[in-house]
Structure 1
Amino acid sequence: MKLTRKELIIVVILALLTALEALSIDLYLPAFQAISEDLKTDIEKVQISLSVFLGGFAVGQLLWGPLSDRFGRKWPLIIAIAIYTVSSVLVLAVSSIEELWLCRFMQAFSGSAGVVIARAQRVYRYDLAGCSRHIVDNLYTARNAEQDPDRYDTSGKKTLCGGFLSPCFPQ
């Protein structure tokens, strides 16, 4: 299966939307000490911002999924990205830990739309039901290969990931 230029652009955008949340966490973790000093608070309170972020991510998925099903993928995603952008700018101007918590919650809440909508779009555009079924089958195969090596391919020719992902990208 060869992707057209438009499909490739869509795949890249979906991947970037999915990576948005991970980047939002990983880019600020090393700055916990500096944030603590800047806001003149305990590092434990800064660590709470990670829990608040993950809570916002969970709550956001509950909203953005049904909204994108009801109103389509485009407008909920545009609104969410706008909220994410505003929240990201506001994080730069916080003067208290509570403001940081609020901004980080809004960042995660709105950023979760990218993950939810990207996954929904992948399922909608591509047949991932068969891919998911194959992944589950491979998990059982990997587990059972130890018990019955004669029945399952244990020669090492297929890597674990290759076995999982091969049906997702047919040739």
Structure 2
Amino acid sequence: MKSRHKKLALIVGAVALFGIIIVLVLNALNSNIALFKSPTEVANGNFPKDKLFRIGGLVKEGSIQRQADGVTIRFVITDSESDLTVDYVGILPDLFMEGKGAVAQGKLLPDGSFKAQEVLAKHDENYMPPEAAQALNDAHVRGVQKQAEQDAAAAVAKPKASY
């Protein structure tokens, strides 16, 4: 084999090896990605089917229910527009409480509840994951717009008193 052919074979082999490494890395990253969704997006059917994803928002006041075994917990995550029931088996973070931000990672069950494998709580008063903050802000804006539309419709439908 000529020197030129050896160099060409070496270059082709290196490119092929590099390509295989890239494919393996991208496959590993793709299988470990957990997309973030808000309760409103899940209610609208915008979530990955049969894959792990993250749901985030605020823990609804009065929604935490602990089962008799002490490790099974059910609570509701809300973005002030939609609610989603979350079931979790395990120990919750110390900062997890009602009215505070939380993110749960898991899958949506056929009954519409979310089976969490992991629950994260915000770590101080000033931090919330950017996606959760944006989802809450968007839901608040939609709620304000919806209320304004309802008020306008009520004002039009209300008959004026005649004197």
Query: Does TM, normalized by the shorter one, top 0.5?
Result: no
* TM-score interval for Structure 1 and Structure 2 normalised by the shorter chain: under 0.3
Whose helix fraction is larger, Structure 1's or Structure 2's? 1
Q: Name the TM-score, length of structure 1 as normaliser.
A: 0.24
Which structure is larger by alpha-carbon Rg, 1 or 2? 2
Whose strand fraction is larger, Structure 1's or Structure 2's? 2
Which protein, 1 or 2, shows the higher relative CO under an 8 Å CA cutoff with sep ≥ 6? 1
